[in-house]
Chain A
Amino acid sequence: MRILSLAGRRLAASIPTLFLILIGVFLLLQFAPGDTVDAMMAQMGGGDAATARELRKFYGLDLSIPMQLGNYLWRLIRLDLGFSSIYGKPVATVILERLPPTILLMTASLSFAFFFGLLLGVIAARGVNKWPDTLISTLGLVFYATPSFWFGLMAIVVFSIYLQWLPAGGFEDIGAAQTGFGRTIDIALHLILPTLTLGLIFLAIYLRIMRASMLEVLNLDFVRTARAKGLDETRVVVKHVLRNALLPMVTLIGLQAGTMLGGSVVVESVFSLPGLGRLAYESVVQRDLNTLLGIVFVSALLVILVNFLVDLLYARLDPRIQAEA
């Protein structure tokens, strides 16, 4: 019950923000020269003025901007995301089709980055200023400094072209119509390289945060007490230090869920994955306002949801937070 009321309050607080974001994006796109008909003409490589006029009427672009915005918001209140001009079907359907690959990729790389960031951060903190720490910190810096498209392309060159271990792109094998377990394995194989590419940059951040946080907690009094009690080092690290050091990491997940949605445009393009990032990019280039606003809406919902989960996780990790709430 308490969770529900918390969730309700959270959602209510984010509705005004959501509307502001949508209106902002709508107005911002009006500043971009050209509309979806211009973009379509560009794609077709030509057309006449009569066709263009006809198309503008068809897409409702002959109305004034306030009218268009009003229409959009009114539809949104009735939970109708509108019709996509590039896909010729409802925006909700278009987004639902693209959501699974994005969420799969996001969850996989976030888990990868979190888990290995934690592990490497702990190892680095345990051997601070010794060779494991130096090695891990240097690697982290390299990952962080490398652009993800380059990582992706190099991974394709090594693992797909040279070694031929993994597929070079796509979401699943088109040739064989697989079902059930076979299909799961196939999709997993296709997602290995994109997950690594997207995850490595975040891994670098997580490991830096984890290392710093561990070092801080390791110097606190209760750790000395635990050691004085005669607990062995593993118990001290796992039971006492880790739990306290995790808080900044959890905060980071909440912050980065949004970044990951955006950061995946590059990775989705390089690995030809049908995700939300690429859809958003296409919508901007094609000036497909309804689709773009729909994506902003869904992404905002996702970020709100992740942050809500993060709040719950805080309470689990640190009982003091729950008491204050």
Chain B
Amino acid sequence: MTRLEMTRRTALLTSAAIAANVANPLRAFAQETPRKGGVFNVHYGAEQRQLNPSIQASTGVYIIGGKIQEALVDLDANGQPVGVLAESWESTPDGKTITFKLRKGVTWHDGKPFTSADVQFTAMNMWKKILNYGSTLQLFLTAVETPDAQTAIFKYERPMPLGLLLRALPDLGYISAKHLYESSSDIRQNPTNLAPVGTGPFKFVKYERGQYIIAERNENYWRPNAPYLDRIVWKVVTDRAAAAAQMEAGDIQYSPFTGLTISDTARLSKDKRFIVSTKGNEGNARTNTIEFNFRRKELADIRVRRAIAHAINVPFFIENFLGDFAKLGTGPIPSVSTDFYPGPDTPQYPYDKKKAIALLDEAGFKPGAGGTRFSLRLLPAPWGEDISLWATFIQQSLGEVGIPVEIVRNDGGGFLKQVYDDHAFDLSTGWHQYRNDPAVSTTVWYRSGQPKGAPWTNQWDWKNEAIDKVIDDAATEIDPVKRKALYATFVKEANTELPVWMPIEQIFVTVINAKARNHSNTPRWGSSSWHDLWLSA
């Protein structure tokens, strides 16, 4: 109980203190003139095995590699695709040929020119073969033609919706230099992955494992007058409380992607030296899940799944534990995804304990000895404090309707293995990461026929042909209006059948020093190139 109250109090403090910042997180400094120079120190919580975003799609790589290497396109302030290494693009009416015109006069950090050959090499050898999510996205990519150095023509076996490709490419479209990789027998083991060379505003300088990574200003960057910063230093700090202390001591200016504890975030949000906000992370939306294992006969009954949803008071949980950083979710497509969000008018399961009990009785699971209907094993993912709290909340809520829940905790590798490979769970809960288009990493949670062991996919032993068809049709539909309609059908069906329940929407929280300017100005700012970021005196 103590822990509950502590959390509740901190969460309330958070809400109150952050209200002002959320209202105006950027505190518009339009009148100031950008200042050149300065070192920007970034909190780096979990070291990755390599730094090249062309072969690993994760925020832990983008936060570094995204400043050194660049993608074909990025998202602008309104979340719309804007050219980076590509200047323009067009698709043929059948959607099978997409042509990119590339930017002229761009050079790699080692002085060699950037050309369409780099795009061809990266797409065919990295995105299609190695990059997680990229290999699914580019499954039907057959060739990239390069009629001249500034043109790359993507050929697809099946129609590729231009909108899907453009929304996926900011994350899955980073380009690597062909001349540094073409002679390498194994791209994964190429030393360039740990000393990346790119076209971006910052040049890699040094990586001291377990300590820091340094990058400095690229004097030959193609955008005029950019970047402003002299260098960026990523400091490896694994202890979250220590990272907060280093921010206060002025050794770190930015902690991305909810890198600090809930209580430290709440404390720093009241401190004028820091800005705490979800702005700039809209492109990294996620939902909290409850995944049902249909191998349990009780959970295969739709009435039981709905009863479980009705038994949990989600608004109460959000208000008391997560504060302003979360809101009620309405399904697999979060409300920040304006291009696809179908609105809240799909089947929902508001808190209704009586209805939950009635549904369970109706399904034939009457309370036995001690009021127990049946018991369940819940596996929470270890990614964040919120999941741990949510698991406890599920346990307590289901206990009240006669379903005792045992919580089984694992570390990351163990969780993925037990849930997605061994299927040794009844309920599991974690994050579903939404990547700007449902076809990238959302529909795999529902499409049947996923290979055993593939994390974050439909491993529930559940199959629905209608939903499978909608998912397949939407993935190759090139008319954006029809696509949106298909995904609205998808959400409606998913919420009706409820193989996975996604009742909470969250966006990562940024904690940044108030001296930073031009920060958080795009929906994936933490991953973006920071070419316009500067520090006021």
Q: Spell out A's residues near B (CB within 8 Å).
A: 32-36, 38-52, 58, 85-88, 94, 97-98, 149, 152-153, 156-157, 160-161, 164, 167-171, 174-175, 269-272, 274, 278-279, 282, 284-287
Contact = CB atoms under 8 A, between A and B. Distances in A.
Nearest to B440: A46
Given A48-B454, A88-B49, A274-B209, A168 B245 contact: yes
Contact of A270 (B188, B239, B251): B239
Residue from A34, A42, A278 with most neighbouring chain B CB atoms (10 Å): A42
Residue from A32, A33, A86 with most neighbouring chain B CB atoms (10 Å): A33
A174 B412 contact: no
6 contacts: A38-B412, A46-B58, A153-B245, A167-B249, A169-B246, A170-B211
Contact of B235 (A33, A86, A160, A170): A170
B433 A43 contact: no
A36 B413 contact: yes
A286 to B, nearest CB: 7
Contacts of A285: 411-413
B48 interface: yes
B210 A274 contact: yes
B188 A58 contact: yes
A40 B242 contact: no
Nearest to B188: A58
B245 A38 contact: no
Assign chain B's interface to a size class.
35 or more
Interface in B227-242: 233, 235-239, 241-242
B504 to A, nearest CB: 18
A169 B451 contact: no
Contact of A34 (B235, B414, B433): B414
A51 B209 contact: no
Interface stretch (B132-140, B314-322, B391-399): B132-140
Residue from B209, B249, B451 with most neighbouring chain A CB atoms (10 Å): B249
Nearest to B212: A174
Contact of B414 (A32, A40, A153, A167): A32
B58 A43 contact: yes
A258 to B, nearest CB: 22
B347 to A, nearest CB: 27
A286 B49 CA distance: 10
Contact of B413 (A38, A45, A51, A278): A38
Nearest to A175: B39
Interface in B169-189: 186, 188-189
Nearest to A55: B188
A156 B248 CA distance: 10
Given A33-B410, A46-B133, A161-B249, A87 B454 contact: no
A169 B237 contact: yes
Given A43-B48, A47-B455, A33 B241 contact: no
B56 interface: yes
Nearest to B417: A34
B60 interface: yes
B245 A46 contact: no
A234 to B, nearest CB: 45
Contacts of B49: 40, 43, 85-88
A270 B418 CA distance: 31
Contacts of A36: 413
Overall SS of chain A's interface: helix
B26 interface: no
A271 B414 contact: no
B143 interface: no
Contact of A49 (B56, B416, B454): B454
Interface of B: 39, 46-50, 56-60, 130, 132-133, 135-136, 186, 188-189, 193-194, 208-212, 214, 233, 235-239, 241-242, 245-246, 248-249, 251, 410-418, 421-422, 433, 441, 450-456
Contacts, number: 172
B242 A153 contact: yes
A122 B288 CA distance: 59
A35 B211 contact: no
B249 A156 contact: yes
A34 B413 contact: yes
Contacts of A47: 132-133, 454-455
A167 B246 CA distance: 9
Given A38-B414, A170-B211, A170-B212, 20 more contacts: A34-B418, A36-B413, A39-B412, A41-B416, A42-B415, A43-B49, A46-B441, A47-B132, A48-B132, A48-B136, A52-B453, A152-B242, A153-B241, A153-B245, A168-B245, A169-B251, A272-B235, A272-B242, A274-B211, A285-B413
Contacts of A49: 450-454
A174 B48 contact: no
A48 B134 CA distance: 9
Nearest to B189: A88
Contact of B416 (A38, A157, A282): A38
A4 to B, nearest CB: 36
Contact of A44 (B58, B413, B415): B58
A171 B411 contact: no
Contacts of A169: 235, 237, 242, 245-246, 251
B213 to A, nearest CB: 10
B161 to A, nearest CB: 20
B59 to A, nearest CB: 7
A157 B245 CA distance: 7
Nearest to B193: A88
B198 to A, nearest CB: 19
Contact of B245 (A45, A86, A160): A160
A278 B210 contact: yes
A278 B209 CA distance: 12
B238 A278 contact: yes
Contacts of A175: 39, 233
Contacts of A279: 210
A33 B214 contact: no
Contacts of A39: 411-413
Contact of B210 (A34, A98, A284): A98
A283 B242 CA distance: 21
Contact of B135 (A38, A44, A48, A164): A48
Residue from A32, A43, A85, A87 with most neighbouring chain B CB atoms (10 Å): A43
Given A32-B414, A49-B454, A174-B233, A44 B132 contact: yes
A316 B418 CA distance: 56
B96 to A, nearest CB: 23
A65 to B, nearest CB: 15
B411 A156 contact: no
B268 to A, nearest CB: 12
B413 A287 contact: yes
A40 B60 CA distance: 12
A43 B60 contact: yes
The 3 tightest CB contacts between A and B, nearest first, are: A34-B413, A42-B412, A274-B210
Contact of B57 (A45, A167, A282): A45
Contacts of B411: 34, 39, 284-285
A161 B135 CA distance: 47
A51 B132 contact: yes
